[in-house]
Every structure is written in structure tokens, then in C-alpha cells.
Structure 1
Amino acid sequence: MCTSLTYKNANDDWFLARTMDFGFELGGRPVAIPRRHHFTSDASAEGFTTNYGFVGAGRNLNGYILVDGVNEKGVGAAALYFNESVYADQPQNGATNLASHEVLNWILGNVASIPDLKKKFEKVNIMAVPNSLLKIVVPLHWIVADNTGASVVIEQQADGVKIIDNPVGVMANSPEFDWHLKNLNNYVQLNPALHSAKSYGTLVANGFGAGTGALGLPGDYTSVSRFIRTAFTRQHTEVAKDTDAAINTLTHILNNVEIPKGLKIQADGDFDYTQYRGYMNLATPTFYMQPYADQTITKVKLTEELLNSKAPVEFKLQTHQQFNEVN
């Protein structure tokens, strides 16, 4: 399970960030995909060729599969688990036929803006094809944002594909995105200030201090609660002044929904945890990856050298220095 959000700093630069919460060890690392790269496909014999280069978190499984990233046009995207997904059983003539785990590669490689996405996605057919690593059809939905701040959520269910404008800049997992938006109506009382005093008969009850305005903010790890918590913190967190401050702010926002190991146990005894957090600067564009085992952030900026490389370039994750001992 995962949480994602968009964010704007004081320079009007937009960012997309996400937690990658999963039980199966994905083993991803930063990968830069060059322009005009050809991807093979599990859904079609011809595969597809991209126009734009991009960088994100991925893994080479007889070809790179990425789960988030940002492209040279400033379009960022992230794939999140979505159990309600329903995909096509058959390919469509004249369409780009993709497995669900290939959609993000196609978006980052071919989309220049949110309006461009809405137009081009009309010719995409998402098929029920298993992923070679997980051996299942991966149920996904996607958040996509561009460097103007426009953001949408893509979901495919039995009634077809929906591209939904995202007015709150937040996304989590099930249920469907429209449900999460309606559920915000249950939390209009939340605010970052103190609650005013209330009278009960002749008694005047005062709050216990700062933070009382957020009483009722859900603190569990369900997608429903993570959505509300992220929407609240995104709305009220102080605006960062520049890029470095924005990445720092995003780490603190996502700290609110990060899942430590052992706190979210599944029916089979396995557990989800936040394997990494990804941050995408849509203005530069640049990708940042912060793994669970080591909070050091690895930064990869798209350069002309990477964009024109003959093959994808994979980067090792940075590690922290030794802690300084203070006597």
C-alpha cells in the first residue's frame, strides 16, 4: 500500500512524492531511461517505443519496470496498489495494449503534460496480464502530475477507464479515488489551530492546548486514514522556500504515513512496510530516493547525457556516513 501527494514551494516549483509500501521485496533503485527507448511488452508482440527520457525507481526484469518517476517534460507519475482494478481480457486493434505494470513506463515515455495525457490515453488498452516477478496481474491505479501543478488519477474498473482531476493533490489505495474525495466531508472540523472553549451547562470546557484543532485526525495505517492525514498535513504545512527545503518538508509529511516493519500484518503473516520514499522535482526534473534501511537520499537529475544514452543507466543507492560521536 502507498501514499502520494503533490506539493508546491515558494518558487512555484511543483513536486510529486510517494511512499512505496509493500510486503514483497521489490529491490528497486534509481534508473534513467533514455529517449527513444524500446520496451518489450507482456501484452503485445510489438511492445512500444518512447519519445521522452525519464528517471525513477525501477528494476531490470528482462527489461526495466518502473513504479514512479519524472520525465524530461516535467511530468511525474506513481503507480499505487488498487484492488478494485478491472482490466481488459483481449487486445484492441489500433490501441496501445499494455499490462498494468507497463503503464507507468508508457506515461513517462510519451506524455508531455496532463492535457496531452488525457488525449493520448484514449488509445491505451490496459490488459489483465501477469507480472513476471509477482506472477499476478498487478492491480494498480496511477497519480500523474505535471510542472504546472495539474494532477489526475487514472483508474480502470468494470465501467472503463476514468481520468479524474485531482483537486486535493493526494492519493492512496482502495477504495476508488472519488470515494476518498467524498470522505473528506467527514473531516471539515480539522484545523491546525486551538479549538475554542465550549460551554456545557454552567461549565466552560477549554482544550488542553495546541493541537486540539486536529482532534479526530485518524492515525492508523489504512489507506482511508492515510489519505485524510496526508490531505491535512499537505494543506497546512508551512510552504518551503526552495528545492532543498521542499524535499525536507516532503520527508516530514510522508513521515506521518510511513509504515515501520511489523505494524501492518497481512492475512498470510507477511507485512507491508515503507520500502522507500520517492520525491520528484517536476521543475528540474530530478528524482530522489530514500530507502527504509538507510535514510540517506540519493539524487539523480536528468541530464542531456542521460537522455541521449544508448541504454538505461542504473544508480547505486547512497549510504550514510558513520554517526559522529560526541564526547
Structure 2
Amino acid sequence: MCTSVTYQTTGGDQFLARTMDFAFELGGRPVAIPRQHHFSSVTNAAGFDAPYSFIGTGRNLNGYIHVDGVNEYGVSAAALYFAGQAHYAATPVDGQINLAPHEVLMWILGNVKSAQELGDRLASLTIVEAAAPLLNIVVPLHWIISDKSGATYVLEQQADGMHYMKNPVGVMTNSPDFDWHLKNLSNYVQLQPDQHADRQYGDLAVNAFGPGTGALGMPGDFTSPSRFVRTVFMREHTETVATIGAAVNALSHMLNSVEIPKGVKIKADGSVDYTQYRAYMSMNEPAFYMQPYNDQTITRVALTPALMTAARPTEFTLATTQQFNQVN
């Protein structure tokens, strides 16, 4: 279960940010993939190539798997859980690019220069039921894709086929499907950043308790529909900033509203969903920022020419703050 959101600075710099909410420890770290990297595939022996370089959260499981990132052309994407609604092909299709769900994000970042190009190439793509390493399950996923022009889309494959939809609100969470979330926003048209006016009920004048009453009724739980509504509101009304550093800071505060602390969301099997990390993809730099749960220090890695042309993928250790400043 995750939340994603796009953001634009006053100068036009574009960002995609996400929380990674999961019970199973994924163990990801920033990993830069160089140009012309070859990925193996669980759907076919040939695998697939990634002509373009990208950086994001990855892990080497007899081959790198990424769940988010940004490429050298400023295309960013994130994979989010889509339980109960994702539907994939049972077998590979001859003549198609056949990918397992967990491989789609690497193909996107390694092969397209814009969100529009991805839409143009989807007819040649088949997503196949195939289990992911480590989890050993067919991972139900959908994807948010954005580029430095600000174009943002959602990719979902359901029983009735593949859907590639413009994202007018710049937010995505989990199930239900994206169109359902958009319709659900009609239930929250009363939300506003300023306080509601006083009301008269009969002879009684009812006064608002103060600032913040405009957000009365905004859902505060950790379900996907509630996180979607909350993040749309935060994105719409959080002040716009000018610099890249200020944008990462603003996104961090926005995602604070949906971060899941350990222990407050327990699944039926007793496992605990929590926000393992937050990631911030800066499309104009391009650069990747990662903020883990256990240490809120943000690690930044720019996608430099040296990383793009390296002989092999480059892993980065997350920065840590070992102690607090002592105040007497």
C-alpha cells in the first residue's frame, strides 16, 4: 500500500514523490542503472534491454529490480499495489514485449523519453502472470508515470484490458481503480483550506472553533481511498515553492499526512504495514532522493554522466544521522 503525488515549483521543475508502505522488508536502496543495461526476465529467456539510464529504489535479486525512479530524459515512474483488480495475460504472446508485472517499471524507465511515447508503445507490451523473486508471488501492480513537461498518467491492466489514463490530480494510491478514486472526490467538495463561515440554526448562532474547520470531514485513516483524498487536498493547497530543495521539503511535509508508523496498521495475518521509505524523483535535474523510516535523513543521488555510462549498475548507501545535537 503506497501513496504517490506530483508537484511543480514556481520555476516549472517537476517532481514525483511516493511512500513505500509494505509489511515485508524490501531492503531497497538507491541504484543507478547505466545505458544499454540488459535485464533478464522471468517471462522469456531473451530478457530486455534498457537503452536509457535511470536511478531509483532497487535491489539485486540475481538481477536488479526497481520499484520507482527517474531516467535521464526526466521520465519518472512508481509501481504501487493494485490488489484484487490487476489482471495479466496467462502466457507470453508471440511478437510482443512480454514482461512480468515487477519488470514493467524497469522497461518504462529504460525505454521511453516521455509519457506520451509510453502511450504510443503500449500496444506492443504484454504483462504476463509471473512471480517476482523474493516475494514469490505475481505482484498486483499499477503504475504512475510523469515527465518533465508535467504530463502525468496512470497505467492499469484489468480484466477488460489495459488502460492508460491522464491523471488530472497528480495523485495515485492503491485499489480501487483510478477512475473510482476520481469519482469519489465528488464526496469531498466541501473541503477547503480556510475555515467555514458561522451558521444560524433557528435562534442559535453556531460559531466555528477556529482555523482548520474547512477540512472537517477529510478522512484521516490509512485506507487507499482516504489517503487519495487527503493527498489531493494537500497537493492542491500546499504553497508552491521556487527551489528544488524547498520542493523536496514541501513534498516531505505532504507525505507526512499519509505516512504509516509501525504498529498502527496490522493486517489479518498479523504482519504490520508501515512506510518503509519515501522517495522523491526530481525530473529536471534528474536526481533521486530517498528518506528511510528508521532515519529521516534524505540521501540525494544525481544521475551524472559517469553513472549513465558506467560499466555496471551503481549502488549507494543511505546517509544516516547517528545522534541528535545535545541541548543542555
State the Cα RMSD in Å: 0.6
The aligned length equals 327
Secondary structure of 2:42's counterpart equals coil
Q: Distance in 2 between matches of 1:268 and 1:323?
A: 36
1:259 aligns with 260
Q: Distance in 1 between matches of 2:123 and 2:111?
A: 13
Secondary structure of 2:67's counterpart equals strand
Secondary structure of 1:204's counterpart equals strand
Q: Distance in 2 between matches of 1:165 and 1:204?
A: 45
Structure 1 residue 321 displacement after superposition: 4.2
- Runs of 5+ unmatched residues, structure 1: none
Q: Distance in 1 between matches of 2:274 and 2:322?
A: 24
Secondary structure of 1:219's counterpart equals coil
Structure 1 residue 326 displacement after superposition: 1.5
Structure 1 residue 92 displacement after superposition: 1.1
For normalisation by structure 2, the TM-score amounts to 0.99
2:64 aligns with 64
What do residues 223-254 of structure 1 show as CA deviations (whole Å, max 9, x unaligned)? 00000000000000010121000000000000
Aligned AA (2:240): V
Structure 1 residue 94 displacement after superposition: 1.3
1:278 is aligned to 2:270: no
2:17 aligns with 17
Q: Distance in 1 between matches of 2:278 and 2:58?
A: 13
Q: Distance in 1 between matches of 2:315 and 2:327?
A: 37
1:198 aligns with 199
Q: Distance in 1 between matches of 2:43 and 2:18?
A: 27
What do residues 107-129 of structure 1 show as CA deviations (whole Å, max 9, x unaligned)? 00001001101011211100000
Aligned AA (1:119): D
Aligned AA (1:248): N
Q: Distance in 1 between matches of 2:191 and 2:217?
A: 7
Q: Distance in 2 between matches of 1:288 and 1:122?
A: 32
1:316 aligns with 317
Structure 1 residue 37 displacement after superposition: 0.4
Q: Distance in 1 between matches of 2:122 and 2:113?
A: 12
- Runs of 5+ unmatched residues, structure 2: none
1:78 aligns with 78
1:30 is aligned to 2:30: yes
1:250 aligns with 251
2:139 aligns with 138
2:130 aligns with 129
Q: Distance in 2 between matches of 1:326 and 1:90?
A: 62
1:176 is aligned to 2:183: no
Secondary structure of 2:291's counterpart equals strand
Secondary structure of 1:179's counterpart equals helix
Matches within 5 A, 1:101-250: 101-250=102-251
Aligned AA (1:53): S
Q: Distance in 1 between matches of 2:306 and 2:50?
A: 17
1:299 is aligned to 2:318: no
Structure 1 residue 322 displacement after superposition: 2.1
Q: Distance in 2 between matches of 1:58 and 1:117?
A: 22
Q: Distance in 1 between matches of 2:133 and 2:33?
A: 20
Q: Distance in 1 between matches of 2:205 and 2:14?
A: 45
What do residues 42-98 of structure 1 show as CA deviations (whole Å, max 9, x unaligned)? 011110001110000010000000000000000000000001101000111111000
